[in-house]
Amino acid sequence: MPESLTGKAIDPFTATTAKLRAWLRDNGAQHIVDQTTEERSLRVAVVRRQRRNQMVKDPPIRGVTAAWSLTQFKNKLQDMNTKGYGPKEYVCFNAKLVQVDMTVTLLRHNSTCRGVIKHGKCCMCGEETVGESNFVVSFDLQDLEDSKSLYNMIGYKAAGEAIFGKKSATTVDNMNIEAVADILENWMEVPINVHAIIEYDMSKGKTRMSPYNIARLPIDYLTEYS
């Protein structure tokens, strides 16, 4: 009989409904208890959670065992926004990458002036220039166990290079749309691990989030939603 992270063993096939609910609460799945009333769904949820707990005991992937869920990450951002304060912090969370926007690059002036180039002119300083290609990638994320918990993440150089195998933004900008679409399709509906920097920006009145490392996780991290 598998052990939970809290040390309590449970048989998902014979335990009473009350014990199933208590076990799920003890193992951080209160949202499942709140949303699920059917006994069969509770038993399935316990089996999935036991599988997830077992993964935690496996050798870590770049510190994945210490990762938050997407919901926990969102709660952290909300807490910083509510308090209006938050020093720079390095965080790590897991999520399901649902979709990547097809537009993955834009033209900026240069490394010093970050103005966007439109019609051959920098929108920030007004200088006429061809500009430089930069990654700006929009990701739609979903919590691995709560389908209603969503988040849109914007990634830049590190995120773009992770998706495109270290290719530069200029190289990707010159690829045909079919080749770009094929690579993005390979990243959709997969579990990922995200390392990011978060910090409350006093000047903008909100928390800034910058992913600096993205890696695919084994497909076993995906679970069916209740």
Output the pLDDT for position 170: 93
Same domain assignment for residues 34 and 76: no
Residue 74 or 28, more confident: 74
For the question of whether the overall pTM of this predicted structure is more than 0.85, the answer is no
Q: What average pLDDT does the structure give for the chain?
A: 84
Question: Does 90 reside within a domain?
Answer: yes
Average pLDDT over residues 58-84: 78
What CATH number should be reported for the domain holding residue 213?
2.40.50.140
Question: Does 157 reside within a domain?
Answer: yes
- Asked if residue 104 lies in contact with residue 187, where contact means CB atoms within 8 angstroms, the answer is no
Question: Does 7 reside within a domain?
Answer: no
**Does pLDDT of 63 surpass 60?**
no
Same domain assignment for residues 180 and 125: yes
Output the pLDDT for position 57: 47
Q: Where are the alpha helices (DSSP H) in the chain?
A: 17-26, 30-35, 39-57, 70-83, 157-163, 169-173, 177-185
Query: Which domain-ending residue is among 57, 81, 105?
Result: 57
Same domain assignment for residues 124 and 38: no
Question: Does 175 reside within a domain?
Answer: yes
Query: pLDDT band at 65, cuts 50/70/90?
Result: low
Output the pLDDT for position 122: 92
Please give the tally of structural domains in the chain: 2
Query: Which domain-ending residue is among 38, 57, 76?
Result: 57
DSSP SS3 for 2? coil
Which of 189, 223, 216, 192 lies closest to 53, judged by CA? Answer: 223
Question: Does 1 reside within a domain?
Answer: no
Question: Does 53 reside within a domain?
Answer: yes
- For 186, other C-beta atoms within 10 Å of its C-beta total 12
Name the residue range of residue 48's domain: 17-57
Same domain assignment for residues 26 and 71: no
**Per-residue pLDDT tens digits for 184-207:** 988 988 999 999 999 999 998 999
**Does pLDDT of 64 surpass 70?**
no
**Does pLDDT of 125 surpass 80?**
yes
**Per-residue pLDDT tens digits for 36-51:** 668 887 887 787 677 6
Same domain assignment for residues 37 and 70: no
Average pLDDT over residues 126-150: 91
Same domain assignment for residues 43 and 88: no
**Does pLDDT of 6 surpass 50?**
no
